[in-house]
Amino acid sequence: MRFCQLSVKFLGYLISEKGIEPLPHRVKAINEFQQPKTIKDLRRVLALLNFYRRFLKNAAHEQSLLSDYLKGAKKNDTCLINWTEEVKLAFESCKNSLAMSTLSVYPSSDARLSLTCDASDRALGSVLSQEENGEWKSLAFFHGSLLRLNSDIAYMTVNCWRFMRPFVIFLLCWNSVILRSIQITSL
């Protein structure tokens, strides 16, 4: 056991005084993945990407084309995947987004918070940020596919931001007609 370390590897994360981020060797390994050949292999790759989902901007949107292959498929389905050019690009984009993942900083009780929301025809997304020295830093991301999200939106949103309950003041931003139609529940 080592004491007084500047950073610690813990449960797949690198925790330091700056914040929390994915382990670099895991990011490198995921980035070097070959294109999955079967549904079962694709499911494994998506599971690994989703382990680090909290660091990924637009993950639901980027993964939606890949997730479409899983619809109706059984857990250990060994059917071969017919890759289109669009899906190949989505797969590479998912891998690259992890390589460019954002450091998640620690919440500060005296910092201003911003919750920025957006939506497309396929996904919802938001980022919770805090202001540090005039710069906005990411605390967490929330995203989900609109095909899978329904009445559980409010429940998932509350659970995603539950660690922020002690912090009261939010700056809420959105630019989507879809999001305006969703009722905002009290945290």
Mean pLDDT along residues 47-54: 84
**Which among 81, 100, 119 is the end of a domain?**
100
Question: 3-class DSSP state for residue 135?
Answer: strand
Q: How far apart are CA 140 and CA 126, in angstroms?
A: 9
Are 43 and 75 in the same domain?
A: yes
Per residue in 109-135, pLDDT (tens digit) is 788 888 877 776 667 777 888 888 888
Are 116 and 96 in the same domain?
A: no
| More confident site: 175 or 93 | 93
- Residue 173 in any domain: the answer is yes
Are 13 and 79 in the same domain?
A: yes
Is the Cα dihedral 136, 138, 139, 141 positive or negative?
positive
Number of domains in the chain: 2
CB count in 10 Å sphere of residue 139: 25
Are 123 and 69 in the same domain?
A: no
Are 95 and 137 in the same domain?
A: no
- Residue 85 in any domain: the answer is yes
Are 34 and 93 in the same domain?
A: yes
pLDDT at 156: 53
Are 95 and 109 in the same domain?
A: no
- Residue 17 in any domain: the answer is yes
Are 31 and 85 in the same domain?
A: yes
pLDDT at 85: 92
Are 31 and 89 in the same domain?
A: yes
- Residue 1 in any domain: the answer is no
Are 66 and 147 in the same domain?
A: no
- Residue 167 in any domain: the answer is yes
Residue pair 179/124 in contact by the 8 Å Cβ criterion:
yes
pTM of the model: 0.61
Phi, psi of 54 (to 5 degrees): -65, -15
Q: Where are the beta strands (DSSP E) in the chain?
A: 7-10, 13-16, 20-22, 113-119, 123-132, 135-145, 170-174
- Residue 82 in any domain: the answer is yes
- Residue 2 in any domain: the answer is no
Are 61 and 126 in the same domain?
A: no
For residue 5, what are the contacts with CB-CB under 8 A and spacing of at least 6? Answer: none
Per residue in 122-178, pLDDT (tens digit) is 677 778 888 888 888 888 777 776 655 454 554 455 555 555 544 444 555 555 554
pLDDT at 75: 78
Question: 3-class DSSP state for residue 146?
Answer: coil
Domain that holds residue 12: 7-100
**Which among 76, 100, 124 is the end of a domain?**
100
